[in-house]
């Protein structure tokens, strides 16, 4: 090599070395455009708006955590599968690098097809139908337990509760709403319960009721007449309020009321309407870890943004929506690119241990499903939902059997 | 049909045929949705627009049609071309049951509408308990590779679904045009305008009303099959929901009940304007959830107040073409 050629080569190498970090900086400073599809109107409007609160917190917090810029592209699915599909197409057309959402399994199925066809990663926040991740999709990822896992976790926590309180109720009366959700839960429980031989109780009677019922006198008296030790209840909000009042009216004091994986008894309106009567009701649902550092940060940001609201009343919705965006941000940071293939591969390699929701690390299996998402045993104590199990995340000790309502 | 109408029709069909060549995926998905609503609206129009029988439970036929074909495909691998006949047969049986109950026992008007809602509702509840179709957990059809057209299993890229819907809508339009000029069409219109008078003239109203219900249910069953293979997942709560029935009838009401082109125009107006208003508000930085529903309400109000026969009759008059 001649001296002049050597000098040129050296200059080129020096320049390349000097500019390399700028290249990285340039790639990192790109914005990740995240399409957030949620049902902010229609039947699921309230839940969609609750999830949106989690998404709204993400850009600022994720910038602090990962140093990446996130731009939210919000779209309302209107609780409609057709709209979910066209909105997903629209967001991709407008340049979304990754999609998240949409709280609903039907909409998730429709969006997943669009994402597969367009080659855009899709991180599901909440949708429980197991089939979504059984379709062989390459770009669809889900950080949420399947319906079977939800029910299994909820039932297993009942056993944990009995062990933690040294109790062994022998019988339960199972009451459930007879809508789609209630029927689905009842079917799941019916299939799982006989296989969970560590649970000491048997269901002596199953009573289905209309979620829109204005009066549950007959159903409650029928349940009381069974003499069951405790009430296993799959409810929604309004019927839970009516049912609890009716129990007091009929002076029925079972060992407790346990929801194996349903909403209703930890919602703000439940406390506001029932006051002290809301105390001690138990719900086994996916929840955030109140002791996690990330939860504290999110709660602080949530309080600042929503001064009249409380994170605990949006726990599942905010938590899983935030985590979906966190997965995207984490992958973006590692991939240093926004192209679908690289980003999808980075999402597949996700291993997040510092998380908000209860459960193991966020790691996707070959099907794009996170395994090991856990539920918590939530008990209404001092007019708010408190984690009582698992012990590592507990804010208080479980109370079971519960005291008479007059002593509450 | 006059020359101007024919020219406009050919021009529109030409544009629709060429659309996939220059439209992006989003536009194509919106166009497919418009055609789906137009076709289903046209099917509803046969019953209400032509024969005057108000159905508020057409989601029943979409759902049964969808589940029948999807169930056969899911459990036995039988493709939709065979499944479609089961879908049609089941929907016709449901239509026959509703029609027989109503027309045999003199149920009409709002009571007939209530009967259609009741059938849709109890079918939804029934499907919630039917394990064969997945119950409330839904039925998911395996999604296959989308790059190549597999007509046998009705699998392919979005353009294939668009063209399928275009063919169905054009076919339904042609069928309805022919029906309106046939004996059945005249009898239906006579029944719609004054049933007693039609009966007095010797028209067997039971028979002709039954025919309208059966034809409408069979046509809607086909849209159900399309729905199943386009979206690939079905939930009783969503497909049998009354909101889907309302969605089906809004197009014909806005476009013009009883007209041939009204359902198509109504579906296009509602879908495009609702999407446009969402886009405009988003561009302005206003995020208003539910604005589409408000918009639907306002459009319905305006049309009822100022265009009680729908947009198409007025537009057709201005364009100098027939209904």
In this predicted model, what pLDDT tens digit does every residue of A63-101 receive, in sequence order? 999 999 999 999 999 888 989 999 999 999 999 999 999
Q: What tokens does A138 get?
A: 């390459």
Within the 10-49 window of chain B, which residues sit less than 8 Å (CB to CB) from chain A? 24-26, 29-30, 33, 36
Whole-structure pTM value? 0.85
pLDDT reading at B139 higher than 50: yes
Contact indicator for B133, B71 with CB cutoff of 8 Å: yes
User: For testing the chain A interface, which of B137, B142, B144, B160 should be mutated: the one with the most A CBs within 10 Å?
Assistant: B137
Q: Which residue from B26, B143, B287 is facing A135, i.e. has the nearest CB?
A: B143
pLDDT at A21: 38
CA distance A109 to A134: 11
CB contact under 8 A, A117 and B158: yes
What confidence tier does B143 reach under pLDDT thresholds 50, 70, 90? confident
pLDDT at A29: 46
| Number of neighbouring beta carbons within 10 Å of residue A98 | 31
What residues are paired with B150 via a beta bridge?
Answer: B155
What residues are paired with B140 via a beta bridge?
Answer: B233
CA distance A260 to A282: 9
| Number of neighbouring beta carbons within 10 Å of residue A91 | 26
Structural domain boundaries of chain A? Answer: 27-146+290-373, 149-287+376-407
- Chain A environment of B287 (Cβ under 8 Å): 74, 76
pLDDT at A28: 45
Q: Which helix (H) or strand (E) segment is A204 a member of? A: strand A202-209
pLDDT reading at B181 higher than 70: yes
More confident residue, A279 or B285: A279
Domain A27-146+290-373 shares a fold with domain A149-287+376-407: yes
In this predicted model, what pLDDT tens digit does every residue of A8-54 receive, in sequence order? 554 444 444 444 433 333 344 489 999 999 999 887 888 899 999 99
Q: At what angle do helices B242-255 and B262-283 cross, to 10 degrees?
A: 110
**Which of A142-146, A320-324, B86-90 shows the lowest per-residue confidence on average (mean pLDDT)?**
A142-146
Closest CA to A51 of A323, A351, A314, A326: A314
Closest CA to A106 of B242, B226, B238, B73: B238
| Mean pLDDT of the region B206-227 | 96
Burial of A159 (0-12, 13-18, 19+ CB in 10 A): middle
More confident residue, A159 or B144: A159
CA distance, residue B170 to nearest chain A CA (Å)? 22
pLDDT reading at A266 higher than 70: yes
Task: Supply the DSSP symbol for B48.
Answer: I
pLDDT at A258: 96
| Mean pLDDT of the region A137-162 | 93
CA distance B79 to B13: 29
Could you tell me the CA-to-CA distances from A79 to A51, A60, A75, A306 in Å, in that order? 13, 28, 11, 24
CB contact under 8 A, B233 and A180: no
CA distance, residue B288 to nearest chain A CA (Å)? 9
More confident residue, B232 or A406: B232
What confidence tier does B304 reach under pLDDT thresholds 50, 70, 90? confident
CA distance B159 to B21: 9
User: For testing the chain A interface, which of B129, B145, B146, B238 should be mutated: the one with the most A CBs within 10 Å?
Assistant: B238
Percentage of chain A modeled with pLDDT above 70:
92
Could you tell me the CA-to-CA distances from B6 to B11, B19, B38, B173, B177 in Å, in that order? 9, 20, 19, 13, 13
Q: CB of B194 within 8 Å of any CB in chain A?
A: no
Contact indicator for B59, B288 with CB cutoff of 8 Å: no
CA distance A213 to A323: 36
**Which of A116-125, B109-118, B296-305 shows the lowest per-residue confidence on average (mean pLDDT)?**
B296-305
CA distance, residue A81 to nearest chain B CA (Å)? 8
What confidence tier does A2 reach under pLDDT thresholds 50, 70, 90? low
Question: At residue B228, what are phi and psi to the nearest 5 degrees?
Answer: -60, -40
pLDDT at A6: 47
CA distance A222 to A173: 10
Contact indicator for B149, B160 with CB cutoff of 8 Å: yes
CA distance B303 to B255: 9
User: For testing the chain A interface, which of B133, B138, B230 should be mutated: the one with the most A CBs within 10 Å?
Assistant: B138
pLDDT at A22: 38
What confidence tier does B144 reach under pLDDT thresholds 50, 70, 90? low
pLDDT at A41: 87
Q: Which residue from B137, B238, B290 is facing A184, i.e. has the nearest CB?
A: B137
| Mean pLDDT of the region A214-223 | 94
Positive or negative: CA dihedral A176, A178, A184, A189: positive
User: What is the CATH code of the structural domain delimited by A149-287+376-407?
Assistant: 3.40.50.2300
Burial of B259 (0-12, 13-18, 19+ CB in 10 A): buried
CB contact under 8 A, A40 and B290: yes
A42: closest chain B residue by CA = B290
pLDDT at B166: 97
pLDDT at B8: 87
- Chain B environment of A42 (Cβ under 8 Å): 243, 290, 293
More confident residue, A85 or A5: A85
Beta-strand pair A282-286/A257-259: parallel
User: For testing the chain A interface, which of B29, B127, B229, B276 should be mutated: the one with the most A CBs within 10 Å?
Assistant: B29
Could you tell me the CA-to-CA distances from A34 to A25, A53, A86, A100, B296 in Å, in that order? 20, 15, 16, 7, 29
Could you tell me the CA-to-CA distances from A396 to A10, A281, A287, A385, A406 in Å, in that order? 67, 14, 15, 10, 22
Q: What tokens does A151 get?
A: 């029910």
Q: CB of B153 within 8 Å of any CB in chain A?
A: no
Cα end-to-end span (Å), chain B: 9
- The 8 Å CB, 24+ separation contacts for A85-88 are A85/A110, A85/A111, A85/A113, A85/A114, A85/B29, A85/B33, A85/B231, A86/B26, A86/B29, A86/B30, A86/B33, A86/B275, A87/A37, A88/A35, A88/A37, A88/A114, A88/A115
CA distance A318 to A305: 13
Q: What tokens does B37 get?
A: 């609503």
- Chain B environment of A78 (Cβ under 8 Å): 290, 292-293
pLDDT reading at B232 higher than 60: yes
pLDDT at A406: 64
CA distance, residue A84 to nearest chain B CA (Å)? 11
| Mean pLDDT of the region B144-160 | 82
pLDDT reading at B140 higher than 70: yes
Q: Which residue from A78, A90, A113 is facing B26, i.e. has the nearest CB?
A: A90
Please state, rounded to an integer, the average pLDDT across all residues of chain B.
91
pLDDT at B74: 93
Q: CB of B128 within 8 Å of any CB in chain A?
A: yes
What confidence tier does B134 reach under pLDDT thresholds 50, 70, 90? confident
Enumerate residues 6+ apart whose C-beta is below 8 A from A156: A196
Please state, rounded to an integer, the average pLDDT across all residues of chain A.
89
Contact indicator for B206, B105 with CB cutoff of 8 Å: no
User: For testing the chain B interface, which of A180, A210, A236 should be mutated: the one with the most B CBs within 10 Å?
Assistant: A180
**Which of A386-395, B78-87, B109-118, B266-275 shows the lowest per-residue confidence on average (mean pLDDT)?**
B266-275
Count residue pairs from A and B with Cβ separation < 8 A: 110
What confidence tier does A4 reach under pLDDT thresholds 50, 70, 90? low
What confidence tier does A220 reach under pLDDT thresholds 50, 70, 90? very high
Q: Which residue from A83, A93, A180 is facing B26, i.e. has the nearest CB?
A: A93
Q: CB of B138 within 8 Å of any CB in chain A?
A: yes
CB contact under 8 A, B289 and A81: no
A76: closest chain B residue by CA = B289
CB contact under 8 A, B237 and A45: no
CB contact under 8 A, A183 and B129: yes
CATH topology for the A27-146+290-373 domain:
Rossmann fold (3.40.50)
CA distance B108 to B122: 20
CA distance, residue B27 to nearest chain A CA (Å)? 8
CA distance, residue A127 to nearest chain B CA (Å)? 11
Beta-strand pair A257-259/A230-234: parallel
Could you tell me the CA-to-CA distances from A392 to A18, A28, A136 in Å, in that order? 49, 37, 36
Question: At residue A357, what are phi and psi to the nearest 5 degrees?
Answer: -80, 155
CA distance B155 to B170: 21
- Chain B environment of A76 (Cβ under 8 Å): 278, 287, 289-290, 292
More confident residue, A379 or B129: A379
What confidence tier does B136 reach under pLDDT thresholds 50, 70, 90? confident
| Mean pLDDT of the region B271-294 | 79
> What is residue A258's three-state secondary structure?
strand
**Which of A176-190, A224-238, B115-129, B173-187 shows the lowest per-residue confidence on average (mean pLDDT)?**
A176-190
């Amino acid at each position: 090599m001649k001296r002049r050629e050597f000098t040129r080569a050296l200059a080129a190498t020096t320049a390349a070395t000097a500019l390399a970090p700028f290249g990285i900086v340039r790639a990192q400073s790109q914005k990740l455009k995240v399409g957030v599809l949620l049902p902010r109107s229609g039947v699921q409007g309230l839940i969609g708006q609750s999830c949106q609160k989690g998404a709204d917190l993400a850009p600022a917090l994720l910038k602090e955590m990962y140093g990446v810029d996130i731009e939210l592209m919000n779209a309302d699915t209107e609780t409609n599968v057709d709209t979910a599909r066209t909105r997903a197409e629209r967001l991709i057309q407008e340049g979304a690098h990754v999609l998240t959402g949409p709280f609903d399994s039907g909409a998730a199925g429709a969006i997943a097809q669009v994402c597969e066809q367009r080659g855009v990663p899709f991180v599901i926040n909440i949708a429980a139908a197991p089939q979504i991740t059984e379709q062989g999709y390459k770009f669809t990822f889900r950080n949420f337990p399947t319906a079977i896992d939800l029910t299994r976790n909820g039932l297993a926590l009942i056993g944990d509760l009995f062990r933690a309180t040294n109790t062994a109720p022998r019988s339960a009366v199972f009451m459930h709403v007879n809508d789609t959700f209630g029927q689905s839960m009842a079917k799941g429980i019916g299939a799982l319960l006989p296989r969970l031989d560590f649970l000491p109780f048997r269901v002596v009677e199953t009573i289905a009721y209309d979620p829109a019922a204005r009066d549950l006198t007959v159903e409650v008296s029928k349940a009381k007449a069974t003499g069951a030790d405790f009430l296993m209840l799959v409810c929604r909000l309004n019927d839970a309020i009516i049912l609890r009042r009716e129990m007091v009216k009929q002076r029925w004091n079972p060992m407790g009321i346990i929801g194996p994986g349903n909403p209703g008894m930890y919602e703000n309106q439940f406390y506001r309407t029932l006051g002290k009567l809301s105390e001690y009701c138990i719900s086994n649902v996916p929840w955030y870890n109140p002791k996690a550092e990330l939860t504290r940060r999110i709660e602080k940001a949530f309080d600042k943004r929503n001064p009249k609201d409380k994170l605990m009343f949006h726990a599942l919705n905010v938590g899983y929506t935030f985590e979906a965006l966190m997965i995207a941000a984490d992958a973006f940071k590692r991939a240093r690119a926004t192209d679908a293939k690289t980003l999808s591969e980075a999402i597949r390699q996700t291993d997040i241990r510092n998380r908000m929701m209860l459960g193991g690390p966020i790691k996707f299996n070959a099907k794009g499903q996170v395994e090991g998402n856990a539920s918590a045993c939530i008990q209404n104590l001092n007019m708010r939902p408190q984690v009582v199990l698992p012990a590592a995340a507990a804010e208080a000790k479980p109370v079971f059997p519960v005291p008479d309502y007059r002593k509450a | 049909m006059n020359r101007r109408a024919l020219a406009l029709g050919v021009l529109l069909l030409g544009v629709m045929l060429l659309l996939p060549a220059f439209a992006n995926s989003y536009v194509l998905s919106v166009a497919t949705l418009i055609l789906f609503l137009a076709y289903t609206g046209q099917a509803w129009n046969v019953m209400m627009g032509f024969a005057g029988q108000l159905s508020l439970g057409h989601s029943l036929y979409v759902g049964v049609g969808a589940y029948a074909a999807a169930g056969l495909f899911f459990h036995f691998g039988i493709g939709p071309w065979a499944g479609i006949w089961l879908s049609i047969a089941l929907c016709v049986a449901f239509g026959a049951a509703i029609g027989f109950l109503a027309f045999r026992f003199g149920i009409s008007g709002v009571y007939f509408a209530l009967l259609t809602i009741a059938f849709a509702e109890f079918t939804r509840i029934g499907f919630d308990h039917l394990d064969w179709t997945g119950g409330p957990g839904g039925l998911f059809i395996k999604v296959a590779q989308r790059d190549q057209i597999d007509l046998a299993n009705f699998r392919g890229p979005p353009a294939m679904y668009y063209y399928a819907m275009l063919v169905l809508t054009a076919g339904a339009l042609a069928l309805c045009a022919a029906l309106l000029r046939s004996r059945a069409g005249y009898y239906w219109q006579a029944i719609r305008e004054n049933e007693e008078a039609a009966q007095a003239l010797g028209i067997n109203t039971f028979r002709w009303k039954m025919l309208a219900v059966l034809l409408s249910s069979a046509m809607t069953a086909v849209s159900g099959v399309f729905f199943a293979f386009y979206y690939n997942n079905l939930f009783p709560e969503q497909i049998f929901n009354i909101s889907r029935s309302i969605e089906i009838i809004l197009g014909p009401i806005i476009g013009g009940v009883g007209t041939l082109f009204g359902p198509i125009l109504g579906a296009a107006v509602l879908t495009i304007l609702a999407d446009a208003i969402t886009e405009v508000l988003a561009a302005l930085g206003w995020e208003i959830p539910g604005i589409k529903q408000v918009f639907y309400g306002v459009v319905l109000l305006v049309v009822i107040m100022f265009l009680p026969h729908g947009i198409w009759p007025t537009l057709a008059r201005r364009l100098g073409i027939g209904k």
